[in-house]
Structures are given as structure tokens and as C-alpha cells.
Amino acid sequence: MKFIADEHIPPAFVAALRSEGYDVTAVSGAVDLGSEDDTILDYARKENRVVLSEDSDFRGADPDLDLTGHPGSSPATSTLNPTRLPPPSAASTI
């Protein structure tokens, strides 16, 4: 599974997922920081990536955002802290 981590996802969490073998691209490495949600979704569609984000718009809160045609989104919270993750993995928290 491939992810694109929105700008609010802690870099340490992204690193933890990568260390577990997940293909994770940070938004800052794919599009400009502060990009509109539709720009992130366009990238997710093109690269076949699940959006990992705190932003509820990616889960349908914004009725104008076209959520079709991409692998999906995974909710995250600001409490993600890879130093306090229970075994076995960071991925189990998403």
C-alpha cells in the first residue's frame, strides 16, 4: 500500500511507516505545502496513493471535493506519536 502523508502528519510518524516498509510520500515532497486538497487528490490518483490526513475534507466533509477515483483516505489524529506506539507497528494506528 502506498500513502501520501498530508502536511499535518508528523515526520517521525512518516519515518516510522517507512521503516516498516511502507511507501510513504510526504505532501512536501510531492506538491507545494499549503496546496489545495484537490491538488493532493490529483497526486494521489496519479500515483495510486491513499491519503493519510487529519483533514476531514478527505473523508467527505467538503461536498465540493471530488473523492472518486483514488485509493482512499485514512484518518489520522494529531496524537500520532511513534515513540509511544504499542507493538507491533506504526501502521496498526491508522
pLDDT means over runs of 10, the chain (94 residues): 89 90 91 83 90 72 66 62 52 58
How many other CB atoms are found less than 10 A from the CB of residue 92?
10
pLDDT for 70 equals: 67
Q: How far is CA 9 from the centre of its chain?
A: 7
How many other CB atoms are found less than 10 A from the CB of residue 81?
13
Distance CA(94)–CA(91), nearest Å, equals 6
Q: State whether residue 46 is helix, strand or coil.
A: helix
Cell numbers 476531514 correspond to: 56
